[in-house]
Structure 1
Amino acid sequence: MPHIELHTNEPGIRGLFHYRPETAAPLNALAEVLLRGDSTLSRGERELIAAYVSGLNECRFCANSHSAFAAAQLPEGMHLVNQVHTSPETAPITPKLRSLLTIAAAVQKGGRTVTDHQVTNARSEGATDQEIHDTVLIAAAFCMFNRYVDGLATIAPDDPAAYESMANHITTNGYGSP
């Protein structure tokens, strides 16, 4: 049960956005730019970074929802998402994406844990400065989103179908659409 009365049964961050639409707008705009805007990383890859960080933060709602969003946009689907959650070191992803996930995991621990070696490695695997920038910002933003969702004890559905329904909406309409 949420710590505050949200006046909705919407789960996770959706309930919080319903509660404070004036804060929802800029947060949704940020998510739209980071996860769906122009980028050389695919939408699925960016959602995978968000899902991975949310999993590291043990934010059930965000990990499940963004895993579903990633799976809906990656040809390998949920099988790959689960492999990344279990073992990003051995998951069948590109070396570039693996190096970006390493940076995202460092950000999740704390911004100062990102090392020159990690950035140099990402560059050597083909990551651009914008991809490194966006990875750091996605990881940092999802640390905030995860703490927002869990700090107010929002509802997280157990049924995977709930997340698949959200994935259909997000992949079709984007963030910020009702």
Structure 2
Amino acid sequence: MPHVSIKAPVPGIGGLLATRPDTAQPLMLLAETLLRGPSPLSRGERELIAAYVSERNACRYCADSHGAFAAQQLDGGEELVKAVLADPATAPIDARLRALLRVADEVRAEVTPASDETVALARAAGAEDADLHDTVLIAAAFCMYNRYVNGLGTELPADPDHYRDSARRIVTHGYLRQRA
């Protein structure tokens, strides 16, 4: 049960955004910029980073949402996302993305710089400054989103198709679409 009154019967972050449109606008603009704006990382890769950080933070709503968004935008779909969330070391992804997920996990776990070793591994796998920048910012932002959603005790959707329906909307229209 949510710890605050929710104006709309929408699970996860949706109810919080409907309840506080003043904070919803900058939060959704940040998500739009990080996950759909210009980046050397594909939209699917960025959603996968968000899903991975959310999984590691035990934020079921965000992990399942962004996992669905990633699945719609990556070759390999849901099976690839499941493999990455279970263990990126054995998932069928390239070395660059695997190394960036390791950077994201370090950022998620500690409020310290990513280790020189992890950054060096990412660079050796082909990651450039923009890849590292975007990965760290996505990881940091999703720590905030995860804490927002979990910290206020939001509810999970009753219908498992909620994530697929949301994925179709986000992939097509983005995060800034007007909410009903």
Letter of the 1:126 counterpart: G
Give me the whole-angstrom Cα distance separating, in 2, the residues matched to 1:77 and 1:163: 13
| Residue in structure 2 matched with residue 124 of structure 1 by the alignment | 124
1:124 to partner: Cα distance:
1.1
Give me the whole-angstrom Cα distance separating, in 2, the residues matched to 1:149 and 1:71: 21
Give me the whole-angstrom Cα distance separating, in 2, the residues matched to 1:13 and 1:142: 12
Give me the whole-angstrom Cα distance separating, in 2, the residues matched to 1:9 and 1:150: 17
| Residue in structure 2 matched with residue 50 of structure 1 by the alignment | 50
Higher helix proportion: 1
Superimposed CA distance per residue, residues 16-48 of structure 1 (whole angstroms, 9 cap, x where no aligned partner)? 110111111111111111100111111000000
| Residue in structure 1 matched with residue 28 of structure 2 by the alignment | 28
> What does 1:3-82 align with in structure 2 at a 5 Å threshold?
3-82=3-82
**TM-score, normalised via structure 2 length:** 0.96
Q: 1:175 to 1:149 in 2, by over 3 A?
A: same
1:73 to partner: Cα distance:
0.5
Superimposed CA distance per residue, residues 77-132 of structure 1 (whole angstroms, 9 cap, x where no aligned partner)? 00000000111001010000000000001011013161011111111111110110
**TM-score, normalised via structure 1 length:** 0.97
Letter of the 1:111 counterpart: V
| Residue in structure 2 matched with residue 96 of structure 1 by the alignment | 96
Give me the whole-angstrom Cα distance separating, in 2, the residues matched to 1:156 and 1:49: 21
1:58 to partner: Cα distance:
0.5
> Is 2:134 the counterpart of 1:142?
no
Q: Which runs of 4+ in 1 moved over 2 A?
A: none
SS, match of residue 112 in structure 1: coil
> Share of identical aligned residues, percent?
56
Superimposed CA distance per residue, residues 138-160 of structure 1 (whole angstroms, 9 cap, x where no aligned partner)? 00100000000011111112533
Letter of the 2:67 counterpart: S
Give me the whole-angstrom Cα distance separating, in 2, the residues matched to 1:124 and 1:98: 12
Kindly tell me the number of residue pairs found equivalent between the two proteins.
178
Letter of the 1:176 counterpart: L
Give me the whole-angstrom Cα distance separating, in 2, the residues matched to 1:57 and 1:39: 24
Superimposed CA distance per residue, residues 32-76 of structure 1 (whole angstroms, 9 cap, x where no aligned partner)? 111001111110000000000000001010011000000010111
Give me the whole-angstrom Cα distance separating, in 1, the residues matched to 2:125 and 2:150: 35
1:7 to partner: Cα distance:
1.6
Q: Which runs of 5+ in 1 are unaligned?
A: none
Letter of the 1:60 counterpart: R
Letter of the 2:40 counterpart: T
Letter of the 1:117 counterpart: E
Query: What is the aligned-residue RMSD (CA, Å)?
Result: 0.9
> Is 2:165 the counterpart of 1:159?
no
SS, match of residue 112 in structure 2: helix
| Residue in structure 1 matched with residue 86 of structure 2 by the alignment | 86
Q: Which runs of 5+ in 2 are unaligned?
A: none
